[in-house]
Chains A and B, each alone.
Chain A
Amino acid sequence: GPKVLQIPSHQIIDMGQMVTLNCDPVSNHLYFYWYKQILGQQMEFLVNFYNGKVMEKSKLFKDQFSVERPDGSYFTLKIQPTALEDSAVYFCASSVERANNERLFFGHGTKLSVL
């Protein structure tokens, strides 16, 4: 079936550095999402993105976070600068635009370790 690919699977960086998480969504999808899961906690919504714009973001989506999808390439989540509490698994998802009951396709996640 359709797949969402996330690159890399694991990223280790020093606190204060910038990191970019990459997501290759399903090709005909128009909505894109990031979710964050801290170890042992629930997966939580960060942001959704459509037509080049952030449509909705949660309080977890700090000022240090940004998303973009330049010219149909990867959908990216950038964190600059990173903090220790950003360590988590970040899941990307995509969906087609549909009125109700949209089916989200998730990637396998990128584990971010901030040291």
Chain B
Amino acid sequence: GEQVEQRPPHLSVPEGDSAVIICTYTDSATAYFYWYKQEPGAGLQLLMSVFSNVDRKEEQGLTVLLNKKDKQLSLNLTAAHPGDSAVYFCAVSEAGNTRKLIFGLGTTLQVQP
């Protein structure tokens, strides 16, 4: 079945720097890709979702890149600030089964003021 690997597990950046989190997946038929953010004591908050026909999507200081050839999904936080400190998860859904998500292990991001 689909495997999702996420790296790095921990990331610390100074305020204003960019932070990049990368996920790789194994099933070339994967259709939907997601990035979630989890702050302490809170539920997972959907940051962005992309369909497989999209290579790049930008919203509110976040950039998601999808490289289907290398089966790689990345999240770039440009100009990170302390409020971005959280755990970030990538997730993918099986083609034809958009209700079952397969998650990465998560990346704990710390943005230092």
Contacts and interface: CB of A to CB of B under 8 A. Distances in A.
Contacts of A107: 43
Contacts of B43: 3-4, 6, 91, 105-109
Given A4-B43, A107-B43, A108-B43, A101 B32 contact: yes
Contact of A33 (B4, B32, B99): B99
B87 to A, nearest CB: 11
Q: How large is the interface on A (under 10, 10 to 19, 20 to 34, 35 or more residues)?
A: 20 to 34
B105 A104 contact: no
B62 to A, nearest CB: 16
A100 B89 CA distance: 21
Given A42-B103, A44-B103, A91 B44 contact: yes
Contacts of B45: 106
Contact of A101 (B42, B49, B89): B49
Contacts of B100: 45, 48, 56
A41 interface: yes
B98 interface: yes
A35 to B, nearest CB: 8
B102 interface: yes
A103 B46 contact: yes
User: Which of A48, A91, A108 has the largest count of B CB atoms less than 10 A from its CB?
Assistant: A108
A101 B98 contact: yes
A14 interface: no
A108 B41 contact: yes
Interface in B16-44: 32, 36, 41-44
Contacts of A3: 43
A43 interface: yes
A13 to B, nearest CB: 21
B100 to A, nearest CB: 5
15 contacts: A3-B43, A6-B43, A31-B99, A35-B101, A43-B89, A45-B100, A91-B43, A101-B32, A101-B51, A103-B46, A103-B49, A104-B46, A104-B101, A105-B43, A108-B42
